[in-house]
Copies of this chain bind each other. A is one copy, B any other.
Amino acid sequence: MSKERDVTIYDLASELNISVATVSRALKDDPVVSKKTKKRIFELAERMGYRTNHFARNLRTQETNTIGLMIHELNSNFSNAVLLGVEKITAEAGYDLIITHSSESYEKEVANARNLFNKRVDGLIASLSFDTRNYDHFKLFADKGVPVIFFDRVEKDGENTVVIIDNYKCGYEATAHLIEQGCKRIAHITSNLNRNVYSERCRGYKDALFDGGLSFEESLLIINDLSEEAGISSAKRVLEMNPMPDGAFITNDFVAAAFIKILKEHQVAVPADIAVVGFNNDAIAHLIEPSLTTINYPGVEMGEVAARTLVNHLKGVSNIHQINTMIINSGLVIRESSLKKKSNAKR
């Protein structure tokens, strides 16, 4: 309740009969201040409950000590994992984090970018929304020299620094694995092919089909929004196909789980009738039955790498303009849902 004025460096200075300049320097641990004076200042600061006024400091130094995070959604395990990784690094480095999410809308993404720009973030970590086609809203940052790092959903052929996994390789591996298990008709359930993540996985899928001597069929490619409903409806669509596919590569574990559930309800056996490979390695993957073969996609690491790269750049330790692409390890985790041949499933 007591709203007394906060303690400032002026209070400390006058209490000790020294100048604010010395106090300011001491608090930053500037070596130019003598140990003796520093000690007195630190002790008094502690005793009087001094707190830095970040606004005064930032006003003066023209730095905000704030990093912006633009994410497409906040409700998936993946995005939460990324957030966890980013938060860890930025907090350790003493940066505040402002989080925005676009709900997969281009308009909101633009508004969020503008907002973060006006808040003068020192740097930006961003993943694009589903339908973003235009990247002008990031130009603002480039023009001001504010570093931007993209992760996961990134601009194709951009010159920005990006943190990604090898989506092509993952798509290829997933599909090749299904082929190896004897699948001849492999459906691919994915999302908007304008986004690099999906187009690359799809390219991997197609190349693996080709290399496996199978041909790509347009009708086996199902594109939706990766919601749970999408899993249900695409399962129904698959059930009506004639002949039915004998394998499915689904770019999201949750969708895969819903998909499998519907198949089971219609007496279609997984993996015997249809083998399934998901994507992300969410916790759900090993809890459903059959346990889900999937691609391990380490969101926490991705967040950490993106954040660390940005922080290092801001601190002058490294320079993101020298780094174009950072690829995070990822790969197939084989479980029961894809094993037509009885072999050793990992858990």
Contact = CB atoms under 8 A, between A and B. Distances in A.
A80 B283 CA distance: 15
Interface stretch (A50-58, A200-208, A212-220): A50-58
B289 A145 contact: no
Nearest to A115: B91
A96 B99 CA distance: 9
Interface stretch (A28-36, A124-132, A254-262): A254-262
Contacts of A120: 51, 53-54
A246 B283 CA distance: 27
Contacts of A64: 55
Contacts of A100: 91
Interface in A84-101: 84, 87, 91, 96-101
Interface in A61-97: 64, 74-75, 80-81, 83-84, 87, 91, 96-97
Interface residues of A, number: 45
A179 B281 CA distance: 37
A3 B144 contact: yes
Copies in the complex: 2
Contacts of A84: 74-75
Interface of A: 1-3, 51-56, 58-59, 64, 74-75, 80-81, 83-84, 87, 91, 96-101, 117-120, 142-145, 228, 254, 257-258, 261, 264, 283-284, 287-289
A1 B52 CA distance: 31
Contacts of A284: 283-284, 287
Contact of A261 (B118, B142, B254, B287): B287
Contacts of A101: 87
Contacts of A81: 75
A118 B53 CA distance: 8
Nearest to A264: B289
Contacts of A142: 1
A51 B117 contact: yes
A119 B99 contact: no
B55 A59 contact: yes
Nearest to A101: B87
Given A52-B118, A143-B1, A145-B2, A254 B228 contact: no
A2 B143 CA distance: 6
Contacts of A98: 96-97
